[in-house]
Chains A and B, each alone.
Chain A
């Protein structure tokens, strides 16, 4: 581990060795960052590296369990976001939260409107102040217009204007460019640079290395909830940063059994949905695990939903064993032998109020019926059978799944699809939020399925999982497939490069 490169200035904000645990889950083990006045500081790391938790600690959303938090060298402790804001820290989240029915000026001065005669709100002062703000930022936004209908870029500018009007000395932006077009990114950067030149400290999270290197003065890398290093931007390469982001041992944990790989079962051709993803084509063969990697928001889940028929698509086709699937009809996908373990277990994968048995047999409700009637005994037998096979730990299969742990809930989701005897199983973030022991069990299960000839498409944001499990890795970036990497050639660096925008620019 490298220590932060300490400059001579006193950092306007510094956090050392902050930790934050939620119950048994440690989200942040060593949160360390220093922001100098007049610098733009980039924070990078894989999904789940603890960047968002760190920002929430700075924003006063989470109170750290331990650690040293200072502003201008003096220790501080924030209980609420309001404390943090009052101390001069402004956070701009990816999706700005403006009141759509109020005007731009009203949004900027919400809760602290300038007063005029008789204590009433002075709209003219408010308008004049807002106009002045936009003039300093050099962006033409009419303070009198209603916020609804503004582009995300404009909304972010308004949040920044609000931060300036609050005399923010530290401006934190969580993936500000994720939803912006090229021109808008340039304008945002212009604003960021002018703020820096006026002495503010700026921290921004980005997954795009061209932006990180183009804009920042220093870069801090995080991994697994901990600080790894801070570099001066000029003295470090993209390669070095990527290595620090992914650098961990990935060999042991995820065993993929060798399976006989057969003919293509799932064929996706030219799948597209306007503004979400386009021209997605790939095959998954019997016995093969295909990993679908990419950053959060690259469109992986959306592709899975379209294949399974949850969402509509505008172009292309999906075939199972050469037979085209009806678009937008999950039932016909299920009949054709498709199963989907969705991303959000609690909202999409399970009916939390229903019992383990009911959930596990929900996909089989028609098959369970004899002469149109479901026999409770058969339902129970099936539920118990699958709970046992997947070793679901529950006091009774009649209990609501809500009483199970996350890992056991995920086993129930898997059980309900395995019970349909699928030919293709799509798993979306199969081990998210699952403790390490159960995680290995889930991996063994998935590997087992492939061994039995099921075609598996696995979406995962955890690189080690993808690298360990997949026979082939597809990488998506901004709605397109950018790379197909075979198991033998796959390295964390290659996947990360394909997932970010630096594929062309690296040797």
Chain B
């Protein structure tokens, strides 16, 4: 691994040049192998290997199936959520959108609406619910935390109004069976292909399109983004619409998988989604994050939870572990930053002063 330290003030740059930091330039491969995503991947492999060898019953194709089925709704919603958090916003209403979609799906189907029409209406509903969040945040300039706490309660309330305490269960068998069917005898659910397609769309959007470049820029610095003509409000609006749409997709899957449309479906999974996104390396302060990282984050939390359940730990432990991982993932970058900061503290302090004076 090649690594060299370059202090550029020694390269013929005038000594008065303020702000020249000693910079560590690493080779491409070193950077990739030491990146946060890579480290998360090693952690995931470690957990899987440990569970495979140490936890009874983990080593089976059934494990793969159940683990992935459990993880699918979270993985789906984590994709748009990652983009929302990268722009410095948050959407807490996703689980309620799942619940409301599920309730509406049950009621419409029971009323005799053809299932194809029901599915389209459900996706439309999700889009509208997301657009409401987006409108309140971008057009009225309200903080997304407050707005989506509000719609979290509101949408769940609507779900109760729509379906009450009832449950609808008699969905067409071919659909419910499809939702849990596996690819041959690999144990991988067929629906996983759809999820991968969604992940691909969001991954390409974030990493390979002008829109993605704009999102990252505005996540780090809204003002500078506006100065290069990025329409900050518009970008955020469409992201909220996308979380609504994908959440309703997750709602359809949830309803079919458990063959049950209820108002309290998916209660509380917004926390699992956000925990996974942050664990996956998305910064809660905006700007930083990658889709591969988020996928690994979701799989890591899913695997740990599944393993603990197999080992017969109670739900309380699961929730403690999820919470601790969430805190750790938010705190870890700060600790790393602090450690790095200490290394260059004296030099940086001097440069900051120079910059301050120069302005």
Task: Enumerate chain A interface residues (CB-CB to B < 8 A).
Answer: 21-25, 27, 308, 310, 330-331, 333-334, 340, 342, 346-354, 358, 361-363, 365-366, 368-369, 372-374, 393-396, 399, 402-409, 416, 432-438
Task: Identify 23 residue pairs between A and B in the complex whose beta-carbon atoms are under 8 Å apart, listed by A's number.
Answer: A27-B357, A308-B227, A331-B230, A348-B224, A350-B224, A353-B220, A353-B221, A354-B217, A358-B216, A358-B217, A361-B213, A365-B214, A368-B210, A374-B210, A374-B212, A393-B13, A394-B8, A396-B25, A399-B23, A405-B18, A405-B20, A433-B358, A435-B17
Q: Which residue of A lies closest to B356 (CB)?
A: A22
Question: CB within 8 A of B23: which of A347, A395, A416?
Answer: A395
Stretch of B38-46, B261-269, B346-354 on the interface side: B346-354
Cα distance A352–B223 in the bound complex, in angstroms = 12
Partner of B220, one of A23, A354, A365, A435: A354
**CA–CA, A407 and B13, complex, Å:** 11
A237 to B345, CA, bound (A): 50
The complex places the Cα of A395 from the Cα of B204 at a distance, in Å, of 29
Question: Given A348-B224, A354-B220, A374-B208, are A22 and B353 also a contact pair (CB < 8 Å)?
Answer: yes
Chain B residue nearest to A368 (CB atoms) is B210
A340 and B228 alpha carbons, distance in the complex (Å):
9
A347 pairs with B221, CB closer than 8 A: yes
Cα A405 to Cα B15 in complex, Å, equals 11
CB distance from A110 to the nearest CB of B (A): 28
Q: Are A435 and B18 in contact (CB under 8 A)?
A: yes
Interface centre among B15, B204, B353, B357 (most CB of A within 10 A): B357
Report the minimum CB–CB distance from B194 to chain A (whole Å). 22
Interface residue from A347, A350, A353, A404 paired with B19 (Cβ < 8 Å): A404
How many angstroms from the CA of A358 to the CA of B288 in the assembled complex? 14
Q: How far is the CA of A366 from the CA of B210 in the complex (A)?
A: 5
Measured CA separation A434–B358 after assembly (Å): 7
Instruction: Say yes or no: B216 contacts A354, CB within 8 Å.
Output: yes
Select B229's contact among A331, A352, A358, A404, beta carbons within 8 Å.
A331
Instruction: Answer whether residue B287 sits at the interface, using C-beta atoms and an 8 A cutoff.
Output: yes
Are A374 and B213 CB-contacts (below 8 A) given A22-B353, A23-B351, A310-B227? Answer: yes
Measured CB to CB, the nearest residue on chain A to B231 is A331
A382 to B351 CA separation, bound complex (whole angstroms): 29
- CA distance in complex: A402, B14 (Å): 18
Q: Does B142 contact A (CB under 8 A)?
A: no
Residues on A with beta carbons closer than 8 Å to the beta carbon of B168: none
A438 interface neighbour in B17, B212, B356, B357, Cβ under 8 Å: B17
Q: How far is the CB of A406 from chain B (nearest CB, A)?
A: 5
Do B14 and A362 touch across chains, with their CB atoms under 8 A apart? no
Q: Is the CB of B358 within 8 A of A22?
A: yes
- Counting from the closest, the 9 A-B pairs by CB-CB distance are A22-B357, A23-B354, A433-B358, A331-B229, A365-B210, A25-B357, A405-B17, A330-B229, A405-B19
Instruction: Kindly state whether residue B311 has any CB partner on chain A within 8 Å.
Output: no
Task: Report chain B residues within 8 Å CB of A372.
Answer: 209-210
A352 to B355, CA, bound (A): 14
1/0 per residue B188-231: CB within 8 Å of A?
00000000000000001000111011101100110111111111
Determine if B16 is an interface residue (Cβ-Cβ < 8 Å): yes
Of A330, A362, A368, A399, most buried by chain B (CB within 10 Å of CB) is A362
Among A374, A395, A402, chain B packs the most CB atoms within 10 A around the CB of: A395
Interface assignment of B173: CB less than 8 Å from any CB of chain A: no
Indicate with 1 or 0, residue by residue over B1-45, a CB within 8 angstroms of chain A CB atoms: 000001010010111111111010100000000000000000000
How far, in Å, is B137 (CB) from chain A's closest CB? 20
Known: A348-B223, A407-B17, A437-B14. A23 touches B350 (CB 8 A): yes
- Across the two chains, which residue of chain B brings its CB closest to A358? B213
Taking a contact as CB atoms under 8 Å apart, the answer to whether B217 and A23 are in contact is no
Given contacts A25-B357, A365-B213, 5 further A-B contacts (CB under 8 A): A23-B354, A366-B210, A374-B210, A399-B23, A404-B20
**Closest beta carbon of chain B to A500's beta carbon, Å:** 24
Shortest Cβ distance from A310 into chain B, in angstroms?
A: 6
B359 at the interface (CB under 8 A from A): yes
Contact check, B209 vs A23: say whether CB atoms are below 8 A apart: no
Give chain A residues whose Cβ lies under 8 Å from the Cβ of B216: 354, 358
- Whether A23 touches B213, Cβ cut-off 8 Å, given contacts A435-B14, A437-B16, is no
CB <8 Å contact, A433 and B359: yes
Asked whether, in the complex, the Cβ of A351 is within 8 Å of the Cβ of B220, the reply is: yes
Q: Say how far A393's CB is from chain B's closest CB, in angstroms.
A: 6
Query: Is A333 within 8 A of B18, CB to CB?
Result: no
A421 to chain B, nearest CB (A): 15
The interface residues of chain A lying within 8 Å CB-to-CB of B212 are 374
What is the chain A residue whose CB lies nearest that of B7? A395
In Å, the complex CA distance between A353 and B222 comes to: 13
- Chain B nearest CB, measured from A224 CB (Å): 14
Instruction: Say yes or no: A351 contacts B209, CB within 8 Å.
Output: no
Say whether B209 contacts A369, CB under 8 Å: yes
Which B residues touch A435, using CB under 8 A?
A: 14, 16-18
Q: State whether A362 touches B228 (Cβ < 8 A).
A: yes
How far is the CB of A370 from the nearest CB of chain B, in Å? Answer: 11
CB distance from B328 to the nearest CB of A (A): 22
Contact B210 A405 (CB under 8 A): no
A14–B143 Cα gap in the complex (Å)? 51
Minimal beta-carbon separation of B11 from chain A (angstroms): 8
The answer, among B23, B227, B350, for a CB contact under 8 Å with A348, is B227
Q: Is the CB of A334 within 8 A of B209?
A: no
Which residue of the partner chain, among B229, B288, B354, contacts A24 with CB atoms under 8 Å? B354
Across the interface, A406 reaches (CB within 8 A) one of B25, B287, B358, namely B358
Whether A24 and B18, one on each chain, are in contact in the complex, defined by CB atoms closer than 8 angstroms, is yes
